[in-house]
Amino acid sequence: MARTKGGSAAVEPELPNFPQTPACAGARAIAAKYCSVALLNHCLRSYVWAAAYGSRESVPYDSELLYVGSLLHDIGLVPEFDSSVVGFDDASGHVAYVFATGAGWPETRRTQLVDVVLSHTWDEVDVDAYPEGFLLERSTSMDISGRYMDDFPAQFKAYVLGRLPRAGIAEEFLACFRDQAERKPTSSPARALRDGIADRILSNALDAVPSDER
């Protein structure tokens, strides 16, 4: 732990603990197998930002549900789970439902997971109705399009990025969105591109944060 000039202990940033349930391990294994390094790190950072914000703001959330949702929320962007019929968010929700069924979750919890995945693309999420979805929407919005940048101090952002580098996520994600929009003009990526998300992705201030790699 670092010390201040007067000798008192200074608080060092740290990552929230990743939950260690079998379902969490399974979701991590799937994301690691099918996602690029950039997309996997985005998913992990999404959990970190969400859990850190939720803990600080006393938002009651289920860490397993939030973690699995974070790891699978973009799985519909990868070629193996891309759908020619529905948008990537809906495809991700279907994959999440199948995963939760295989994990032995009851129907209610499977539906909750789908809601977490789907709500991350909503413009606004009711924190009382969908606490995990609220946190994931906030964290993914910051990580991709640079919204809510004031949620965390620079030191914490640098610490997280030093451990989970962005690795070109802006360019990769934008390419995925453009591909989705071209093939599926009524999808959420198509709507987001019409609303100007491309400029926000490419100007995300997180890409200018110097990483703390201690």
Tokens of 1: 């732990």
pTM of the model as a whole? 0.90
Q: How far apart are CA 181 and CA 193, in angstroms?
A: 8
Q: How far apart are CA 13 and CA 37, in angstroms?
A: 23
Taking 50 as the threshold, does the pLDDT of residue 15 lie above it? yes
The one-letter amino acid code at 146 reads G
* Rg of the chain, C-alpha, whole Å: 17
CB 67 within 8 A of CB 19: yes
CB 133 within 8 A of CB 119: yes
Longest dimension (CA), the chain: 62
**Domain boundaries, given as residue ranges, for the chain:** 22-208
Quote the pLDDT of residue 211: 63
- Sign, Cα dihedral of 67, 106, 20, 33: negative
Q: Which fold has domain 22-208?
A: Hypothetical protein af1432 (1.10.3210)
What are the contacts of 171-178 at 24+ separation with CB within 8 A?
171/202, 172/36, 172/38, 172/39, 173/38, 173/39, 173/42, 173/77, 173/144, 173/201, 174/198, 174/201, 174/202, 176/77, 176/88, 177/201
Chain centroid, CA 159 distance in Å: 17
Banded model confidence at residue 146, pLDDT cuts 50, 70, 90: very high
Quote the pLDDT of residue 5: 35
Banded model confidence at residue 20, pLDDT cuts 50, 70, 90: very high
Average pLDDT over residues 160-189: 93
Tokens of 88: 């990537």
Average pLDDT over residues 158-176: 94
Taking 80 as the threshold, does the pLDDT of residue 128 lie above it? yes
The SS3 of residue 9 is: strand
Quote the pLDDT of residue 212: 62
pLDDT tens per residue, range 41-83 = 999 999 999 999 999 999 999 999 999 999 999 999 999 999 9
